[in-house]
Structure 1
Amino acid sequence: MNRTIMAGVALAAFGATAVSAQDAEFTLRIQTHHSPESIAGKSAAQFYDDVETMSGGRIAIEPFYASAVVKSAETFDAAMNGILDGDLTSGAYQTGKDSAFQFVGDPMGGYDTPWQMYAFLYNGGGLEAAQALYNEYGMQLIGWWIAAPESLASARPLTSPADLEGWKFRSPPGMQTQIFADLGASPIVMDFTEVFTSLESGIIEGADMSNLAVNKSSGLYDVVKHATFPGFHSMPADHFAIRKDLWDSMPEDLQRIIDVAMQKLAFRITLTGSVETLQAASDLEAQGVTIHDWSQEDRRTFREAAVAAWSDFATTDAARELIDLHKEFQATIGLTDDR
């Protein structure tokens, strides 16, 4: 279905739900880039239902899936400008505004588990620093949610950082290419659609696409037989942000409902992601795929390279503040020796 048709479907849904929402005190038009049939999309739908139910109908949600109204990276601006009210995509889409958004959306190599990133948000000063950034653009950050750390797919073993030397792989653009290049790899930026033919032809030896379960469902391990798991290099977080003037107009009890529902969304999707990736690892090993779990020492080596690249990528005071907070929290929980 092309974007014009999808937008039409979404706007038709908008009109259909407007009548049922007419008695609500607040109606939130929220867009996500996830499709309604995906696990993330179903989780978003549950989040919407939780908010509506707990508010006793005082809040109504008009949902738009699969970036039906505007492109994914434009959702934030659409909410800022009143076309939408909420953005359920990713802060990393906004690095063009401020490099600080990278360290909200994916502080690459920074943490081993989603729970550590949640702890940074709620216990390491992350929410306060990120909130100042979002408020600068007229948005209120409610929270973030993380499915699972990402895994690499490779035609050759990746047992340690030493195996990255000369490794040619599909990489997304941005900070990741620098991190892997600094460790001796040869990242090649390419679209997802080119990955399979490039792997089959030997143009690349591996790929960074998503977490292990998604990689498996995409068929990557039908082509190559090595995977890193649990992941260590990337753990992207989706965010939920609301236009600040709308948020400020809500009474505290409704704000609390949205906040609590967001924390439930994060908790449940991380549990689901954990189960899915563990099941994928078991299935893949049974199919002859070799799983490589890096040691804590090797993860620390990668983290040191990542943190060095962070400083090069940070171009604003907001980015540098978030980096300093990440470093301080990493030391606090024993991920680095920088105390």
Structure 2
Amino acid sequence: MTLDRFAGLLGRAAPTAFASTAFASTAFAPAAFVTAALAAGLAGAAQAETYTIQTSFNAGDFSTQHLSETWLPKIAEMTDGRVEIAFTPNGSVVPAKETPEAVAYGVLDGDFTSVNYFSGREPAFALLGDLISGYDTPRQMLGFCKDGVGEEMMQKAADELTDGEVKVIACGPYSREALAARTPIRTFEDLQGMKIRSPEGLAAAVFAAAGASPVSIPFSEVYGALEKGIVDAADASAYVNNDATGLNDVAPYPLYPGIHSMAAMQFTMTRSKWDALSPEDQTALRDWWYMAMEDLTRVVHEEDEKLAERDRQGDRIEVIDWAQEDRDKLREVARAEWESYAEKSELAGEVLQAHLDYMKSIGLLK
């Protein structure tokens, strides 16, 4: 990605910013949002600095609504009105895989993005973004970031792409994703020949090693790809998000609890903007993010369980729960791919060792 590419973006009108309640809408009305954002900025200019953060969420996601309605308002409270954040949805300013450069050059003030999008550019991101079949719960991997060396590893990976111009504030997942499927995949062997939408990198490698055919499709196009039969299944999001965006309507054989993905997000800011914050506000932003993600983990799990049970009681959707034997077969395949990715770069090897050390420290591995 060249500086000219982002210089051109910097010459455009300011990126669209969603107010907390507006971002919950499934519609995207740029003029209205720009007007609202400018009005809010003028009204609060004396008190707060508003930072535009592009997410990898779609506007209609349950997760989007919960974060926007419950947690965006808390930032101002935690910083005594000095800091506010405006979210923009996946791909609204730049494609998700370009957010590191966009943040580095100040096109975006920061991002809140699944780092799987960057795995094709630095293999370490594949292991940081989703250690397929590794951690049992999102809280374990959040601990790797917050209490272990996850943030440090994520910063090293970000530096590989942006020469230190991006600050990684926090990282981690919030859900064990379901697998939306329009064709029943009841066993490990049923993966054979299935066309599965998957991010580039480790997830795609694991599906391929298991006999499926991974297909790279932008997240925003998953619904159409499932509806038209372009893919048989899709690595998309949590059960509640898939339900909210209608994926289960066109893919009525969801695998839940998920067999594969626990995608980690990163929360970043342009280095110069981060450095301009007071130490108190820096601490508040990091604390805010982990509080929001831990709460989102709890709420999403509760909603996942409620919706999956509702669908089990109906006759429209078949919720498929793999037997442990099939899950173990996929984990064996996944572990071989971990090792393969660890050999792709020095940093990737360092990241895998960091994961293994942390897993042992919490008793997940011996």
Match of 1:91 among 115, 118, 138: 115
Question: Which digits, 9 at most, give the CA deviation of each residue in 1:266-299, with x for residues without a partner?
Answer: 0121112101211121012112444443455543
Distance in structure 1 (CA, Å) of the matches to 2:99 and 2:268: 10
* Percent of residue pairs identical: 29
Q: CA deviation at 1:68?
A: 3.5
Contact 1:90 1:238 in 2 (8 A): yes
Question: Which digits, 9 at most, give the CA deviation of each residue in 1:209-249, with x for residues without a partner?
Answer: 33323334455555665432211311112321111222223
Match of 1:43 among 60, 66, 72: 66
Question: What residue identity is the alignment partner of 2:38?
Answer: G
Q: Which residue of 2 aligns with 1:265?
A: 292
Match of 1:279 among 306, 311, 332: 306
After superposing the two structures, state which structure 1 stretch, 258-267 or 73-82, moved more: 73-82
Higher RCO (CA 8 Å, separation ≥ 6 residues): 1
Q: TM-score, normalised by structure 2?
A: 0.77
Distance in structure 2 (CA, Å) of the matches to 1:286 and 1:183: 31
Q: CA deviation at 1:90?
A: 2.2
SS at match of 1:170: strand
Q: Which residue of 2 aligns with 1:328?
A: 357
Structure 2 unmatched ranges of 5 or more: 1-14, 17-27
Residue 194 (structure 2) pairs with residue 194 (structure 1): no
SS at match of 2:262: coil
- Residues 193-232 of structure 1 mapped to structure 2, 5 A cutoff: 193-198=224-229, 205-222=232-249, 226-232=253-259
TM-aligned CA distance change 1:33 to 1:177, over 3 Å: closer
Question: What residue identity is the alignment partner of 1:184?
Answer: G
Distance in structure 1 (CA, Å) of the matches to 2:56 and 2:207: 27
Distance in structure 1 (CA, Å) of the matches to 2:60 and 2:319: 29
SS at match of 2:261: coil
SS at match of 1:178: helix
Residue 194 (structure 2) pairs with residue 168 (structure 1): yes
After superposing the two structures, state which structure 1 stretch, 42-51 or 7-16, moved more: 7-16
Distance in structure 2 (CA, Å) of the matches to 1:94 and 1:224: 27
Q: TM-score, normalised by structure 1?
A: 0.83
Distance in structure 1 (CA, Å) of the matches to 2:197 and 2:60: 27
Q: CA deviation at 1:261?
A: 0.9
Match of 2:130 among 106, 109, 112: 106
Q: Which residue of 2 aligns with 1:17?
A: 40
TM-aligned CA distance change 1:12 to 1:67, over 3 Å: farther
Q: CA deviation at 1:181?
A: 2.5
Q: Which residue of 1 aligns with 2:278?
A: 251
Match of 1:80 among 87, 104, 121: 104
Structure 1 unmatched ranges of 5 or more: none
Distance in structure 2 (CA, Å) of the matches to 1:145 and 1:265: 11
SS at match of 1:92: helix
SS at match of 1:19: helix
TM-aligned CA distance change 1:335 to 1:171, over 3 Å: farther
Q: Which residue of 2 aligns with 1:313?
A: 341
Residue 162 (structure 2) pairs with residue 139 (structure 1): no
Question: What residue identity is the alignment partner of 1:121?
Answer: C
Contact 1:169 1:208 in 2 (8 A): no
Distance in structure 2 (CA, Å) of the matches to 1:282 and 1:184: 30
TM-aligned CA distance change 1:223 to 1:60, over 3 Å: closer
Distance in structure 2 (CA, Å) of the matches to 1:215 and 1:238: 18
Distance in structure 2 (CA, Å) of the matches to 1:330 and 1:270: 20
SS at match of 1:228: coil
Distance in structure 2 (CA, Å) of the matches to 1:40 and 1:108: 21
Question: What residue identity is the alignment partner of 1:58?
Answer: R
Question: What residue identity is the alignment partner of 1:329?
Answer: Y
TM-aligned CA distance change 1:21 to 1:316, over 3 Å: farther
SS at match of 1:210: coil
Q: C-alpha root-mean-square deviation of aligned residues, in Å?
A: 3.0
Q: CA deviation at 1:318?
A: 1.9
Match of 1:52 among 68, 76, 80: 76
SS at match of 2:177: coil
Q: CA deviation at 1:255?
A: 1.1
Contact 1:10 1:64 in 2 (8 A): no
Contact 2:254 2:318 in 1 (8 A): yes
Contact 1:169 1:204 in 2 (8 A): yes
